[in-house]
Amino acid sequence: MLIKSAKFLISATDYKKCPKQPLPEYAFIGRSNVGKSSLINMLTNHSHLAKTSGKPGKTQTINHFIINENWYLVDLPGYGYAKTSKSKKVELGTIIETYLKFRENLTCVFVLIDIRHEALYNDLQFMEWLGENEIPFIIIFTKADKLSPSQIHIAVEKYKSTLLESWEELPQYFVTSSETRQGREEVLNFIERTNTS
Ligand code: GDP
């Protein structure tokens, strides 16, 4: 997909205040520092479309961008960061939870995972929560340039085997780097293929 235009539209604290036009929507989420802003900027060919926040984890708004005038890209705040959680419930926060559950035109959520990290409890819980709520998602491994091809292979296989402990089928995934632009075409082609507008 060629990116012809990418514009910031609105920051909302409530899914009801999100743009009304029913365009297909793709949301990006992940722990702070996972490389979300860099990925959004790389995908859209903008150096500053998504702002890197000086205060990690503090962005609490749903940020809408319109791409090529025919799909929305959404930058979501991160989800619960507590290392140990007493309940098995993922700590999402009402803003994200209601957005994900009730935003009707949400086509897919991209869950960003730093390829160098072991599978983290909150990420796994979050994906389980998405599954329980029948919200389609895809994993995007970020920062692939930090590993060699063989290390990438090992990291992905390890992540897959952890996922298979709770999933019968593996979610689709892409391996990306905002430095080398690896994975850009794959992610954009996926969006193009699934964009029904
Ligand atoms: P966010 O908090 O998830 O939005 O993460 P940022 O996009 O602000 O990135 C956090 C840090 O990781 C910054 O120092 C980025 O330069 C770095 N970073 C992000 N993506 C990549 C990548 O693909 N490769 C490398 N080497 N560094 C990256």
- Confidence band, pLDDT 50/70/90 cuts, at residue 87: low
Q: Is the distance from the beta carbon of residue 57 to the nearest atom of ligand 1 less than 6 Å?
A: no
In this structure, the residue with its CA closest to atom 15 of ligand 1 is 35
- Confidence band, pLDDT 50/70/90 cuts, at residue 50: confident
Query: Ligand 1 test: best mutation among 38, 40, 146, 182, most atoms within 8 Å of CB?
Result: 38
CB 140 within 8 A of CB 124: no
Q: Is the distance from the beta carbon of residue 146 to the nearest atom of ligand 1 less than 6 Å?
A: yes
Q: Helix axis angle, 121-132 relative to 149-163, nearest 10°? A: 50
How far apart are the CA of 144 and the centre of ligand 1, in A? 11
Residue type at 165? E
Quote the CATH superfamily of domain 6-194: P-loop containing nucleotide triphosphate hydrolases (3.40.50.300)
DSSP letter for each residue of 15-67: GGGS--S---EEEEEESTTSSHHHHHHHHHT-SSSSPPPSSTT---SEEEEEE
How far apart are the CA of 114 and the centre of ligand 1, in A? 9
Picking from 189, 102, 80, 93, the residue whose alpha carbon sits closest to that of residue 138 is 189
CB 163 within 8 A of CB 119: yes
Per-residue model confidence as pLDDT tens digits over 120-173: 988 999 999 999 999 999 999 999 999 999 999 999 999 999 999 989 999 999
pLDDT > 90 in the chain, percent: 74
Q: Look up the pTM and report it.
A: 0.93
Query: Ligand 1 test: best mutation among 28, 29, 31, 33, most atoms within 8 Å of CB?
Result: 33
How far apart are the CA of 39 and the centre of ligand 1, in A? 8
Give the residues across from 29 on adjacent strands: 111
> Can you tell me the ipTM of this complex?
0.99
- Parse the chain into domains and list their residue ranges: 6-194
- Confidence band, pLDDT 50/70/90 cuts, at residue 52: low
Q: Is the distance from the beta carbon of residue 58 to the nearest atom of ligand 1 less than 6 Å?
A: no
Return the sign of the alpha-carbon dihedral for residues 49, 127, 162, 174. Answer: negative
- Confidence band, pLDDT 50/70/90 cuts, at residue 53: very low
In this structure, the residue with its CA closest to atom 6 of ligand 1 is 35
